[in-house]
Structure 1
Amino acid sequence: MYEPIRTKSVHTVAEESAATGYPRRSRDEELDIQLAGHLAALLAVTDELGLAAEGDRIAEQVARLRGTPPTRHAGLTNASPADLHTRAHHLAGRALLVAASRADTAAAILSAERMDAHLAARHLAGAH
């Protein structure tokens, strides 16, 4: 009447992964990696917009999370400033969500400030 369980239990899988020596990361470590990725993407767009001071602040947060300063280069996409501000606004929003779930106040404040700045710039440019 009942079908037997065909998958291994969570405890067995955890024991096997510990025995094989695969590195395991905590939830906080995973969130730090994700947050650093979003901030690094935001940094690339910020640098393309030519916002050096704001880029330096973002780079500080990426360095804090990764333990090493990010590589910065001028990889130009030739997108319009309005499109870049839209992209930066979305990236800052993603970073804000991860920073809030990680309870990283410094990154959350920076992300919220960048969201506001890019939203204002989008409105000035006429892109809604």
Structure 2
Amino acid sequence: MYEPIRTKSVHSTMAGPPSDFPHRTREEELDIQLAGHLAALLAVTDELRALTPSTDLDAAATRLAEQVTRLRGGRTPVRAPLTAGREPAALHERAHAVAGRALLVAASRADTAAAILAAERMDAHAAATELTTAG
């Protein structure tokens, strides 16, 4: 009535031999997540640099690029050209949210350098958000 199975199952079983499917460790997954969040923060920082150039944003962009490069095993992040896009208040809010996500992942993987950088950026963007909404 049923045709017999002719191919090997794609699902691993406890009784079978270990799968040759590539698996990443928790540490590798967290590295990927953290690099992604920091790269997103770098993109927003670059947008802010186009709107309101400052040495603080330049230094932050440099530090973010260094961390992304470190987490990606030496591959440098893709940088967008500096073009003014959205309103600065919205960009600061977005940057604050992304820095918060990066801080959570950095804390989870015990990456002190990335956690400190993310916390500093959260503080800077929170202060900038207060200034732009108050003014």
Using structure 2 for the length normalisation, give the TM-score.
0.78
SS across alignment from 2:13? helix
Q: Which of the residues 57, 63, 87 maps onto 2:63?
A: 57
Percent of residue pairs identical = 66
Other-structure match for 1:29: 28
SS across alignment from 1:71? coil
**Aligned partners of 2:116, 2:86: CA distance in 1, in Å?**
27
Q: In the TM superposition, what is the alpha-carbon distance from 1:52 to its structure 2 partner?
A: 2.0
**Aligned partners of 1:78, 1:109: CA distance in 2, in Å?**
28
Q: Which of the residues 118, 127, 134 maps onto 1:120?
A: 127
| Runs of 5+ unmatched residues, structure 1 | 1-9
**Aligned partners of 1:102, 1:26: CA distance in 2, in Å?**
12
2:93 alignment partner AA:
T
| Runs of 5+ unmatched residues, structure 2 | 1-10, 50-56
**Aligned partners of 2:13, 2:115: CA distance in 1, in Å?**
38
- Change in Cα spacing, 1:15 to 1:121, as seen in structure 2 (3 Å) is farther
- Change in Cα spacing, 1:55 to 1:118, as seen in structure 2 (3 Å) is same
Residues 34-73 of structure 1: CA deviation (Å, up to 9, x unaligned): 0000000000000111122210100000000001111111
Residues 64-106 of structure 1: CA deviation (Å, up to 9, x unaligned): 0001111111274721000000000000000000000000000
Q: When the two structures are aligned, how many residues end up with a matched partner?
A: 116
Using structure 1 for the length normalisation, give the TM-score.
0.82
Superposition misfits of 4+ residues, deviation over 4 angstroms = 13-16
